[in-house]
Structure 1
């Protein structure tokens, strides 16, 4: 079992080092070089200190003594400067690694299938990955831990080389019993037993501490997520109005205090455990060091080692003991850190399961596209509820279609399936008679311009938000802004379309909900796709403003296929077809005139309730 665990640690460490090398191939080699120098520096003092002291006692020539002194100073200075340079270089690379790992997580989240990303398991793994690269110092600390293991391994090698003479019998005539004992292999055997016992005890204690630490991390993933959420809400001015008007500050603070108290209680318990175990480790180590002093001291008194050798052996023995103890600590720490980082690795290794397809989308000048839902049903992952139930219909290019219904009827889910954010649980969706799964996924998405109900704008300038790109066609941006009715507002801004929105950037401005929706509509128009979908994008506008937007929009997309989804019914007048959704099924199909004739139908009920807004 232990050998299997060791193999797991080694295999995981090798895998982590591979993707660290992918981020920065020189990061770990630089850490390795730095730690080799760090391990070497103390032994320069020990070795040359011993040579200088023995030279003074033996009355060697001053030139020989000074030569050793110069070598000691020169090596210390050269290696010290190199160590300092590598430390500064690694500080820069550490910052780069930290941001690069965050960017890798963001990139994976952006490219993972939407269906996979929205799963609770994936979101939990994403949170664990984010916390994993921050816990225990993340990747830089992991590399430093490996570097420290190498440092201490080299320290042990250096120490053994210097200590080899301590356990070799010194020839002495008429030796006493005590001298014969200390010249025999017995002390070596006793020291080996003592070191092995101390090493085993250190390892077991460190192993227990790291198990407690990781258990603490696991138990607090959700708690930390909640604290981060409420901390972000409290610091986000967008929530400020609701917090103040409804007096929610105490409520939020109470929730945060409860979570903080739970963490503090666990940390206090963990701290007490750490204190007890650390004290035990220190007692064991001090006992071993005390034994070393006694052993070397007695050998010096008996004349079995020189005065200079005392400095060498004591220094080497103390560093040997420290290295052996540290290796157990750093190994168990490495085991702990690789568990944290495994979450990062596991998230990056999540696979896209959506079939990407290979067929190109036919580029048609006449925009002749036909979409068909054929007996489509859908359930969200890990949910038994059927959101869409046996949906069938056809939509041809140039048609205007409205989808209406009560909340939760499945309207937005319908759009997610059409855009292949999800695949149907049953049935199929066809484009020009071919299952959309067979088309190249990226090309398929290019035929849609969508303004979702919960659309997002980003902290770029207005032009980049509209173009959805760093490269902006100014003329095309202004045309889209004019079509959506917000160009005059943008012209009044100091920097026009180069004005940053939101206050994450310098000189960023805040925009109203209605202005944001018009910019989102401009983005859909800028793309100039053959199929345009508006998923309740005008909810922040008053009914008359919404009617005007739809009237203008209907003219702008007259040669395109357009799909309107809304709680409000103003869009329906322009549409050739209206699908009325109810409880995941199509309850009615027709146009405004035919559907209004059915006074008992859901469409008539919804329209009648809102009719006063459109008269």
Structure 2
């Protein structure tokens, strides 16, 4: 399970050890062996050259060459065979690590408090951290192995070099230190630049979806907004590309400067060794081995190790954000299934002097809001956009707990109900209801995952006017919806809306809320939807929320929300009789919306 803590680069190693222990231990052992290979190669090549030279000069017998050849062959076999085996093991390990880590991150996202979902900064943090976590964790693990390999191989090569030419080893160490520092700074700055690029990429990806997504096709053609949106897309794309180019240029300059330093150091040291070779102070085999060792060591110290430090700095910055993500507060029992509340007898719902402002803001959306709703009536909350209607729903469903005052169900504080009980008591169809790419049946059954009632399912499909739609599908109620699966079928807007309402009906919750789910329909069609729902759901407590008043007349009582509190309350007739009343003015301004001009497209099943 993903822990809430400050993650360090050590976690790039400990997380895989927890999820894929055997594969990680194997990788550690192979890393150690690979680390010793450069020194082993240097010594074996030197021994082979010296032995061959001695045989050529007649100093030793031909049989002396067998052991050096066997040692070289073992090196060749190891370096050619082990990588293939390692790749197979790593592929399997990566798949398991990917599945487990993604699952743990997804569970963390599900458990997050709703305020993080609605907050722009935390949402961008979530997008950056969760876009490809496995790539970063695998890069972190490989960074560990690369660092260990380079440090061990560099140390072993340094011992060989300093045993013959101490000064050369000191020079290499002195040159390498500033390269490490530059690599660390470059890695950190490039990650910060990459963060800015990702923000821009998120914007142009959204514009791209509008330009190519089928859902926007009709309006793209109708309003002809493709050209200005494409221009904006091109502008954002260019901005992102410039940032990414800067990152690439910096990395390239760093790489090439390291390569030039490497070449310069090798030339200087080889030049210093030539007189010793000429005087016979070192053998040809030792000279060639030293040149090879020095080149490998300088390559390690000036470029490969600094490149590893560059990645280390970048991944360290990623871990800071990953730590911030894991520390985001969670909703208690967020993943728990709804409790069975069939035996609960709902009587009343009360807001008592409730005030609420969204986290990080100073403006109160609700201010001293008070009302009591009884179980034997249905209610409609009306008001202009931004009046606080949907906020009431969010507080009722437990999305936000940081409110002042009291919310009571049957006289009991909502804070004394468990989240599972709240889920079991209240069902909502929102304006932006979900369109699940599942079967028709599963779309409805999501309303109550604790039980399957085929007879009730059939009744709801019929009552909501979906029977003919279902019968017309290739696989009936088991037909997949949307555009993902083969042979799936997409529904019209009105059909999707009825399916979302069917999901609420199947939940069998005591408190049912329709929070403007028909806002995309014309006002007359919206009224007809609410009439249909009221008929089907006549024995259950229902709250309608809308800023359009045609559907309000069917409610027993209407509550007018204005500036965060209940400004007016009563039946349609009572509110219309109020002189200069807010409701009567709103209704008068909308009256023409409800004069039937064409037959309702909703009742015909067309979106």
Question: What is the TM-score of this pair, normalised by structure 2?
Answer: 0.87
CA distance in 2 between partners of 1:263 and 1:365 (Å): 57
1:146 alignment partner in structure 2: 144
Does the 8 A contact of 2:7 with 2:320 survive in 1? no
2:346 alignment partner in structure 1: 368
2:511 alignment partner in structure 1: 531
1:475/1:23 CA distance change after superposition, 3 Å: farther
1:454 alignment partner in structure 2: 432
Does the 8 A contact of 1:400 with 1:561 survive in 2? yes
Does the 8 A contact of 2:379 with 2:555 survive in 1? yes
Does the 8 A contact of 1:377 with 1:390 survive in 2? yes
1:397 aligns with 2:397: no
CA distance in 1 between partners of 2:315 and 2:93 (Å): 19
1:279/1:163 CA distance change after superposition, 3 Å: closer
Gaps of 5+ in 1: 1-9, 168-187
Secondary structure of the equivalent of 1:115? helix
CA distance in 1 between partners of 2:188 and 2:548 (Å): 57
Secondary structure of the equivalent of 1:12? coil
CA distance in 2 between partners of 1:370 and 1:352 (Å): 29
2:44 alignment partner in structure 1: 48
Equivalence map 1:391-540=2 (5 Å): 391-423=369-401, 425-468=403-446, 473-540=453-520
Does the 8 A contact of 2:38 with 2:153 survive in 1? no
1:250 aligns with 2:227: yes
TM-fit CA distance, 1:239: 1.8
TM-fit CA distance, 1:532: 0.8
Does the 8 A contact of 2:20 with 2:97 survive in 1? yes
Corresponding residue to 1:12 among 4, 8, 13: 8
1:567 alignment partner in structure 2: 547
TM-fit CA distance, 1:514: 0.5
CA distance in 1 between partners of 2:494 and 2:340 (Å): 36
Judge which range, 442-451 or 59-68, deviates more: 59-68
Q: How many residues align?
A: 581
1:554 alignment partner in structure 2: 534
Does the 8 A contact of 2:428 with 2:512 survive in 1? yes
1:80/1:114 CA distance change after superposition, 3 Å: same
Secondary structure of the equivalent of 1:565? strand
2:204 alignment partner in structure 1: 227
Does the 8 A contact of 1:44 with 1:72 survive in 2? no
Does the 8 A contact of 2:379 with 2:543 survive in 1? yes
Secondary structure of the equivalent of 1:444? helix
Does the 8 A contact of 1:514 with 1:540 survive in 2? no
1:464/1:30 CA distance change after superposition, 3 Å: farther
TM-fit CA distance, 1:25: 4.0
Secondary structure of the equivalent of 1:460? coil
2:584 alignment partner in structure 1: 604
RMSD: 3.1
Secondary structure of the equivalent of 1:446? helix
CA distance in 1 between partners of 2:520 and 2:189 (Å): 50
CA distance in 2 between partners of 1:584 and 1:577 (Å): 18
CA distance in 2 between partners of 1:541 and 1:195 (Å): 74
CA distance in 1 between partners of 2:323 and 2:487 (Å): 38
Deviations 1:92-138 (A, max 9, x none): 4435545655554443222211123212231131133145748xx52
Equivalence map 1:51-66=2 (5 Å): 51-59=47-55, 60-66=60-66
Judge which range, 449-458 or 229-238, deviates more: 229-238
Judge which range, 520-529 or 396-405, deviates more: 396-405
Does the 8 A contact of 1:125 with 1:347 survive in 2? yes
TM-fit CA distance, 1:90: 1.6
CA distance in 1 between partners of 2:227 and 2:402 (Å): 45
CA distance in 2 between partners of 1:379 and 1:355 (Å): 24
CA distance in 1 between partners of 2:195 and 2:401 (Å): 33
CA distance in 2 between partners of 1:218 and 1:548 (Å): 48
1:589/1:23 CA distance change after superposition, 3 Å: farther
CA distance in 2 between partners of 1:475 and 1:41 (Å): 71
Does the 8 A contact of 1:38 with 1:151 survive in 2? yes
1:150/1:361 CA distance change after superposition, 3 Å: closer
CA distance in 2 between partners of 1:575 and 1:246 (Å): 37
Secondary structure of the equivalent of 2:9? helix
1:44/1:99 CA distance change after superposition, 3 Å: same
1:230/1:80 CA distance change after superposition, 3 Å: same
Deviations 1:38-72 (A, max 9, x none): 33444444333222222222234444422332343
1:30/1:464 CA distance change after superposition, 3 Å: farther
Equivalence map 1:135-284=2 (5 Å): 138-163=136-161, 165-167=163-165, 188=166, 190-284=167-261
Question: What is the TM-score of this pair, normalised by structure 1?
Answer: 0.86
Secondary structure of the equivalent of 1:13? coil
Which runs of structure 1 show a deviation greater than 6 angstroms over 4 or more consecutive aligned residues?
353-356
Does the 8 A contact of 1:576 with 1:591 survive in 2? yes
CA distance in 2 between partners of 1:337 and 1:241 (Å): 44
Secondary structure of the equivalent of 2:349? strand
2:602 alignment partner in structure 1: none
CA distance in 1 between partners of 2:342 and 2:453 (Å): 24
Does the 8 A contact of 2:466 with 2:495 survive in 1? yes
1:281/1:105 CA distance change after superposition, 3 Å: same
